[in-house]
Amino acid sequence: MSFPGRFAEQLLPDQLAHLSVSFLVEDLEVRRGGVAANIAFGMGVLGGRPLLVGAVGADFADYRAWLERHGVETAGVRVSDLRHTARFVCTTDADLNQIASFYPGAMTEAREIELAALGPVDLVVVSPNDPAAMVRHTEECRARGIAFVADPSQQLSSLDGEQVRTLIDGADLLVTNAYESAMVEHKTGWSGEDVLKRVAVRITTHGVEGAVIAQPGEADVRVPVVPAASVADPTGGGDAFRAGLLSARSWGLSWERSAQVGSLLATLCLESTGPQDYSLDRDAALSRLGTGYGAAAADEIAPHLPSH
């Protein structure tokens, strides 16, 4: 929601202990989101068939239909009998200040999901979710020998050091942005070298400066972004990057090529409004990949891009 005024003009410092305000907003936009769903949607755009795992409410029916139309398998979704699907409600004022609330709702039931019951999987991505669910799913992956990605991102602020160490140790991939990367080291007490001893690959995104791929005993690889023609909405850009990255790895491409596909998808997301409102034009995508990374990169990625 957008408030045309300024929150600061409506708040009385000497009355904050009795705060009760209402803002008349100009518009309301309802958009689909959620980290797991955003990543799964992006993989569907690239022709994949990812399995979404999480807990939702009975109000999920329309969202389920949308995701399934875009290539997402939803058999791993648990439907709560008591709570609504998690949602984020935000009001932004003229100065881009925000007042927001996050309702976890059915997300708290994700800890009841057992991965073994979902059948064989290639890779489990443990993204921001109910903290107890994140820990359970990570420990189950280790116990069952299932490859997993540690993607704690927004939940890092609510996790303690021991939980963060549990989520990372033994991961095939740790992916964070630069701030989250520093927070991981702060909360775990591990240095960057310590982290690399516990994960196979570490990828850190740096916004417009691209991404850095780090692997034990190897020189870092830097992957620049695909320049955006315009930025309509930054929401979901990181999730789109993960979708492209993981899709390309499933195609058997190198980490560098995979990060390039991730950068492409992130840019497509940035150029649209909302985290699930972009599509892929194959010819345009290959042109942008060639311009950004060279003809060899475009030629190597081309056989895997869908024609739609």
**Are 107 and 124 spatial neighbours (Cβ–Cβ below 8 Å)?**
no
What is the four-CA torsion angle of 262, 35, 160, 214, rounded to 10 degrees?
-10
Whether pTM exceeds 0.85: yes
> What pLDDT shows up at residue 302?
97
Report d(CA 17, CA 225) in Å as an integer.
Answer: 46
Contact 150, 167 (CB under 8 A): yes
Letter string b/e over residues 7-37, b meaning 16 or more CB atoms within 10 A of that residue's CB: beeeeeeeeeeeeeeeeeeeeeeeebbbbbb
Q: Supply the pLDDT for residue 239.
A: 96
**58, 106 in Cβ contact below 8 A?**
no
Q: Report whether 305 contacts 46 (CB < 8 A).
A: yes
Pairing of strands 211-214, 202-205: antiparallel
Q: What is the pLDDT of residue 115?
A: 95
Q: Give pLDDT, residue 11.
A: 87
Burial class (CB in 10 A: 0-12, 13-18, 19+), 38: buried
Task: Output the tens digit of pLDDT for each of the chain's 308 residues.
Answer: 999 999 989 888 888 888 888 999 999 999 999 999 999 999 999 999 999 999 999 999 999 999 999 999 999 999 999 999 999 999 988 987 889 899 999 999 999 999 999 999 999 999 999 999 999 999 999 999 999 999 999 899 899 999 999 999 999 999 999 999 999 999 999 999 999 999 999 999 999 999 999 999 999 999 999 999 998 888 899 999 999 999 999 999 999 999 999 999 999 999 998 899 999 999 999 999 999 999 999 999 999 999 86
Which pLDDT score, from 0 to 100, does residue 96 have? 78
Quick one: DSSP state of residue 10? T
Q: Which SS3 state, helix, strand or coil, does residue 237 take?
A: helix
Catalytically active residues, by annotation: 239
